[in-house]
Amino acid sequence: MNIYRYIEKNKDISFRKKHFNEVDNAILSLISYLNFSYIDGKNTLENMGKRYLERYDYKEISSSGWAQKDAYILLEKIVNTKRYKNIEIQNYVYIANEEEQFSAVTFKISKGLKYIAYEGTDHLMVGWKEDFQLSYKYPVPSQMHAIKYLKNAVKLFGPKIIVGGHSKGGNLAQVSAMELGFFKKFKVKKIYSNDGPGLRLKQFKSIKYKLIKHKFVHIVPRNSLVGIMLRNDKFKVVKSIRRTMMSHIPSTWIINDDRFVETNLSRVSQNLQRKVIEWLDIHNDIERQFLIENIFDVFYKSGITDTMKLKNIMYITKALKELKTIDQKTKDLVGDLLTYILFTK
């Protein structure tokens, strides 16, 4: 079954009877893509959801990107369910400009448990550029915001915390938990990265990561593109009904009871992962920054301002012709990534 069938099956089952699990994590990580800026103080998901659905229609939200569209459908499904309707939504933060994109929200599941969700990258290239900045800079602006958000949220005598996010949000969940103080780390029960990119080598080998590694759950689809980026050592590879880049969306992942069905990473994703590590190993931070700035400048000049245009062969052909000043290894990697996006079925 998929997420929608899971919601229908468990709509009348409280979190007391069926504890918060990895599927619930994926659902709330997607809900975090919605704009909750009109919330004042505490609000339940039922009250907020009804107000949201009255304010926006599906067609309007669909133009914002696939993540918001999926989140809208999920909200419609869960807003009146016994399992989700009494979740309190708190402390919504949204920051976006030409250089950064960050959003976070806290879901109070019960008196003793909160789930903090970081929004991932949407369809705009500015967000994807920051994803690639993770390869040469730490922390990037969104990571700094995430670290501050979690530090303020975790109270030594407060409820247990689960942290999660989808895409870039998964990396933010991982990093913010790593950077907590020693005693506050004990308040974090679990960390979910739903197909989020990994870490730079220095952070990957750090004691900070080792201290939270046993709580970290990194879920990626069989044909992962985003989740295999940078350094990773813990994958829960899951089946998806899609084999394209759309398998990045958790609503395409296959569920058995309250868990995603496991499988193995595809050869295409294994090959991309290997090439990413090779590229990281032969370029230092300054070289990575120069190359990534160059690549995204070419994308913008070619008219590629959002990921939907990466599926258009006309834009891709124009961009590839402009990639003249980068080394062959980088050209090969960019070519492999674009080939994956265009032709993986």
Measured CA to CA, the distance from residue 216 to residue 193 in angstroms comes to 8
Report the DSSP beta bridge partners of residue 218. Answer: 193
Q: Sort 235 into a burial class: Cβ within 10 Å, 0-12 / 13-18 / 19+.
A: buried
- Half-sphere exposure of residue 319: CA atoms within 13 angstroms, side-chain side: 24
Q: What pLDDT does 156 receive?
A: 87
Q: What pLDDT does 345 receive?
A: 45
For the chain, the first-to-last Cα distance in angstroms comes to 21
Q: What is the dihedral of CA 68, 72, 78, 79, to 10 degrees?
A: 120
Measured CA to CA, the distance from residue 323 to residue 19 in angstroms comes to 50
Determine the residue type at 290. Answer: F
- 3-state per-residue secondary structure call for the chain: CCHHHHHHHHCCCCCCCCCCCHHHHHHHHHHCCCCCCCCCCCEEHHHHHHHHHHHCCHHHHHCCCHHHHHHHHHHHHHCCCCCCCCCEEEEEEEEECCCCEEEEEEEEEECCEEEEEECCCCCEHHHHHHHHHCCCCCCCHHHHHHHHHHHHHCCCCCCEEEEEEECHHHHHHHHHHHCCCHHHHCCEEEEEEECCCCECHHHHCCHHHHHHHHHEEEEEECCCCCCCCCECCCCEEECECCCCHHHHCHHHECEECCEECECCCCHHHHHHHHHHHHHHHHCCHHHHHHHHHHHHHHHHHCCCCEHHHHHCHHHHHHHHHHCCCCCHHHHHHHHHHHHHHHHCC
Q: What pLDDT does 251 receive?
A: 93
Measured CA to CA, the distance from residue 113 to residue 20 in angstroms comes to 9
Q: What is the pTM of this model?
A: 0.91
Report the DSSP beta bridge partners of residue 191. Answer: 163, 216
**44 close to 86: Cβ distance less than 8 angstroms:** yes
Q: Locate the domains of the chain by residue range.
A: 3-265, 283-343
Query: Tens of pLDDT along the chain (345 residues)?
Result: 999 999 999 999 999 999 999 999 999 999 999 988 876 666 899 998 898 898 888 877 777 677 888 999 999 999 999 999 999 999 999 987 766 778 999 999 999 999 999 998 766 666 677 778 898 999 998 999 999 999 999 998 889 999 999 999 999 999 999 999 999 999 999 999 999 999 999 999 999 999 999 999 999 999 998 899 899 988 999 999 987 778 888 999 999 999 999 999 999 899 889 988 988 898 899 888 887 887 777 777 766 666 666 666 666 666 666 666 667 767 677 766 666 564 444
Measured CA to CA, the distance from residue 231 to residue 204 in angstroms comes to 7
Report the DSSP beta bridge partners of residue 166. Answer: 194
Determine the residue type at 205. Answer: K
Topology adopted by domain 3-265: Rossmann fold (3.40.50)
